């Protein structure tokens, strides 16, 4: 095993596929308190009026397209995860949880519809599939568990500090500095987990739209649980979306900033993910990520695939992360490192 991981809380004796992914010393603590700067962007609808339902009521039937009681049809920020054509949205306008929840989305190219399920909008390729189930690698599946999702902000993430993560407040500050050139734009927090940073981005008022996106249904449910009693976020410009980072539901060049906190090592294919991030960013758009580093070892190159395949997470070295960003077409790479923690940023040319 790589020497650089010795201090990582993720390094556990192998028992079974799941046990070995659980951090060594999960302990319970309350979630962080957050400051409330004034909202620069706000929305009109209030979400409480629709809680309790389990799926969106709006379906896009052909005859309903021109006879909407709730609002008109419009081309949306979201795109079809199958063909990347912008989705047509029907329902109340506004970029906030209540409005998205009450809207239906349709791809007219694929003739496929998408709607909200349990608070989040499901924009995975398999949304709506009846018989087909797809399972990702354990490092992705682990976070779909209700228990892990529940524990994540209640002790699990605090463990990261032992590997050099400075903590959510400081990591947020660092990310905000990198995002200065895209203030006022659309920010996607990919692999948002329970929304630790999405909530901070939304509260900051620095972005016109914030998308909290994750593959885990239970992480998104936790995210909603954290925000449901906070009117300042419920009525803000934050929406929850289920999607795969390797198939992002946005048109090419439509996004100003992408954040991915503590996520790259969990992705099934970092190269597909970073290529996707590059695709959705507009020219000048900024990508900011954090992850655990693998400290360079003297392992010969031909042995690396074997070692990598026995590891639960995909830890990269600093050089590999820079190379990954560059080979996916991003420029102006920069990073800061503290023990195994790295925060890096790169830009779309
Ligand atoms: C360690 S958590 C990070 C959560 C949060 N961003 C943070 O900074 O604490 C990693 C997240 O990556 C998500 N993830 C794993 N595979 C994914 C995929 N293929 N697409 C999108 N998200 C994925 C998991 O569901 C999990 O919520």
Residues 110 and 145 in one domain: no
Q: Is 233 domain-assigned?
A: yes
Last residue of a domain, one of 101, 122, 143: 122
Q: Is 42 domain-assigned?
A: no
Write out the two tokens for 204.
């900051």
Residue 56 has pLDDT above 60, yes or no: no
Residues 29 and 53 in one domain: no
Rg of the chain in Å (alpha carbons): 20
Q: Is 127 domain-assigned?
A: no
CB 182 within 8 A of CB 256: yes
Write out the two tokens for 145.
């568990």
SS (H, E, C) the chain: CCHHHCCCCCCCCCCCCCHHHCCCCCCCCCCCCCCCCCCCCCCCCCHHHHCCCCECCCCCCHHHCCCCCCCCEEEEEEECCCCCCEEEEECCCCCCHHHHHCCEEEECCCCEEECEECCEEECCCCCCCCCCCCCCCHHHHHHHCHHHHHHHHHHHHHHHHHHCCCCHHHHHHHHHHHCHHHCCCEEEEECCCCCHHHHHHHHHCCCCEEEEEECCHHHHHHHHHHHCCCHHHHCCCEEEEECECCECCECCCCEEEEEECCCHHHCCCHHHHHHHHHHHEEEEEEEEEEEEECCCCCCCHHHHHHHHHHCCCCCECHHHHHHHHHHCCCEEEEEEEECCEEEEEEECC
Q: Is 212 domain-assigned?
A: yes
Residues 197 and 329 in one domain: yes
Residues 249 and 307 in one domain: yes
Residues 305 and 240 in one domain: yes
Residues 216 and 165 in one domain: yes
The larger pLDDT score, comparing residue 28 to residue 149, is at 149
Q: What distance in angstroms lies between residue 217's CA and the mean position of ligand 1's atoms?
A: 11
Q: Whose CA is nearest to atom 8 of ligand 1?
A: 261
Cα–Cα separations (whole angstroms), residue 238 to 30, 188, 342: 23, 10, 27
Pocket test for ligand 1, best of 193, 277, 288, 289 (most atoms within 8 A of CB): 193
pLDDT number for residue 87: 97
Q: Is 328 domain-assigned?
A: yes
Domain interval for residue 16? 3-36+133-347
Last residue of a domain, one of 98, 122, 146: 122
Residues 195 and 70 in one domain: no
Q: Whose CA is nearest to atom 13 of ligand 1?
A: 191
Q: Is 213 domain-assigned?
A: yes
Residues 265 and 189 in one domain: yes
Write out the two tokens for 217.
């249904």
Residue 282 has pLDDT above 90, yes or no: yes
Residues 209 and 239 in one domain: yes
Q: Is 343 domain-assigned?
A: yes
pLDDT number for residue 304: 58
For the segment 174-217, what is each residue's pLDDT rounded down to a tens digit?
Answer: 999 999 999 999 999 999 999 999 999 999 999 999 999 999 99
Residues 170 and 224 in one domain: yes
244 lines ligand 1 (CB under 6 A): yes
Beta bridge partners of 244: 247
What average pLDDT does this structure show over 248-257? 98
Measure the CA–CA gap between 311 and 137, rounded to whole angstroms.
Answer: 11
Helix 168-178 and helix 196-204, axial crossing angle in degrees, nearest 10: 50
CATH number for the domain spanning 242: value is 3.40.50.150
The number of folded domains in the chain is: 2
Q: Whose CA is nearest to atom 15 of ligand 1?
A: 140
Pocket test for ligand 1, best of 10, 140, 220, 250 (most atoms within 8 A of CB): 140
| Residue for token pair 């895209």 | 182
Residues 293 and 274 in one domain: yes
pLDDT number for residue 75: 78
Last residue of a domain, one of 73, 88, 122: 122
What's the whole-number average pLDDT of the chain?
A: 81
CB 15 within 8 A of CB 144: no
pLDDT number for residue 305: 55
Residue 49 has pLDDT above 50, yes or no: no
Q: What distance in angstroms lies between residue 108's CA and the mean position of ligand 1's atoms?
A: 30
Neighbours of 253 (CB within 10 A): 13
For the segment 120-172, what is each residue's pLDDT rounded down to a tens digit?
Answer: 999 999 998 999 988 888 889 999 999 999 999 999 999 999 999 999 999 99
Q: Is 53 domain-assigned?
A: yes
Residues 223 and 267 in one domain: yes
């Amino acid at each position: 095993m790589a020497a650089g991981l010795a201090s990582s809380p993720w390094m556990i004796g192998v028992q079974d596929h799941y046990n070995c992914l659980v951090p060594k010393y999960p302990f319970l603590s309350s979630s962080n308190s957050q400051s409330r700067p004034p909202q620069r962007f706000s929305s009109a609808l209030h979400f409480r009026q629709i809680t309790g339902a389990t799926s969106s009521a709006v379906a896009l039937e052909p005859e309903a397209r021109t006879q909407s009681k709730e609002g008109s049809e419009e081309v949306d920020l979201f795109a079809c995860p199958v063909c990347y054509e912008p989705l047509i949205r029907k329902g109340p306008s506004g970029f906030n949880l209540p409005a998205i929840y009450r809207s239906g989305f349709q791809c007219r190219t694929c003739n496929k519809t998408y709607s909200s399920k349990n608070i989040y909008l499901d924009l995975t390729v398999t949304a709506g599939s009846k018989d087909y189930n797809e399972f990702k690698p354990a490092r992705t599946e682990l976070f779909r568990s209700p228990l892990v999702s529940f524990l994540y902000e209640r002790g699990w993430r605090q463990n990261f500090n032992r590997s050099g993560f400075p903590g959510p407040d400081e990591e947020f500050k660092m990310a905000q500095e990198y995002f200065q050139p895209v203030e006022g734009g659309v920010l996607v927090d990919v692999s948002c987990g329970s929304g630790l940073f999405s909530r901070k981005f939304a509260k900051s008022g620095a972005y016109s739209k914030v998308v909290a996106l994750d593959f885990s249904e239970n992480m998104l449910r936790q995210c909603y649980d954290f925000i449901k009693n906070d009117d300042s976020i419920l009525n803000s410009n934050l929406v929850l979306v289920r999607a795969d980072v390797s198939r992002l539901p946005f048109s090419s060049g439509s996004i100003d900033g992408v954040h991915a906190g503590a996520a790259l090592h969990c992705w099934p294919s970092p190269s597909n993910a970073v290529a996707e991030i590059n695709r959705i960013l507009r020219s000048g758009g900024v990508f900011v990520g954090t992850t655990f580093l693998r400290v360079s070892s003297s392992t010969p190159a031909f042995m690396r695939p074997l070692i990598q395949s026995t590891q639960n997470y995909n830890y990269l070295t600093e050089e590999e992360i820079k190379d990954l960003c560059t080979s996916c077409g991003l420029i102006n790479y920069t990073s800061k490192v503290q023990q195994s923690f790295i925060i890096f940023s790169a830009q779309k040319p």
